[in-house]
């Protein structure tokens, strides 16, 4: 959590997202570095099952290449961030984020 706070403009963003009524997942190089309570609820995972794990764990197989290319683009172009809306996998099914 401190790593995120050091890179974000304000830790107020974290406070707002923590209880947001939408699922929020933040990753760096496809490693999950933050997810809020609503994301955990939707995904049906516990925090320790996803935090610091590969984001591809909850991404459908047919989107893996797209996610890898997006992560490479962020690194290559030194983008600060990029917002993606994608389908994700819960323990039992898929939904949109």
Examine the pLDDT at 84 and tell me if it is beyond 80: no
Please state the domain extents for the chain. 2-96
User: Measuring CA to CA, which residue among 42, 20, 39 is closest to residue 92?
Assistant: 42
Output the pLDDT for position 68: 93
Q: Taking the domain 2-96, which CATH number applies?
A: 3.30.450.20
The mean pLDDT of 24-40, rounded to a whole number, is: 90
Share of the chain above pLDDT 90, in %: 31
CA gap 36, 47 in Å, rounded: 9
Examine the pLDDT at 46 and tell me if it is beyond 50: yes
Sign of the torsion formed by the C-alpha atoms of 54, 59, 63 and 66: negative
User: Measuring CA to CA, which residue among 47, 56, 48, 53 is closest to residue 32?
Assistant: 53
What is the tens place of the pLDDT at every residue in 51-83? Answer: 999 999 999 888 899 999 988 988 898 877 677
H/E element, 26: strand 25-28
If you compute the radius of gyration of the chain from its CA atoms, what whole number of angstroms results? 13
What is the tens place of the pLDDT at every residue in 4-20? Answer: 545 554 567 777 788 78
């Amino acid at each position: 959590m401190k790593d995120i706070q050091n890179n974000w403009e304000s830790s107020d963003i974290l406070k707002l997202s923590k209880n947001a009524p939408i699922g929020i997942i933040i990753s760096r190089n496809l490693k999950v570095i933050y997810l809020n309570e609503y994301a955990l609820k939707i995904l049906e995972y516990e925090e320790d099952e996803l935090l610091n794990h590969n984001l591809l764990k909850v991404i459908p197989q047919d989107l893996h290449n797209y996610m890898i290319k997006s992560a490479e683009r962020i690194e290559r172009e030194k983008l600060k961030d990029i917002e993606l809306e994608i389908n994700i996998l819960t323990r039992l099914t898929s939904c949109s984020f």
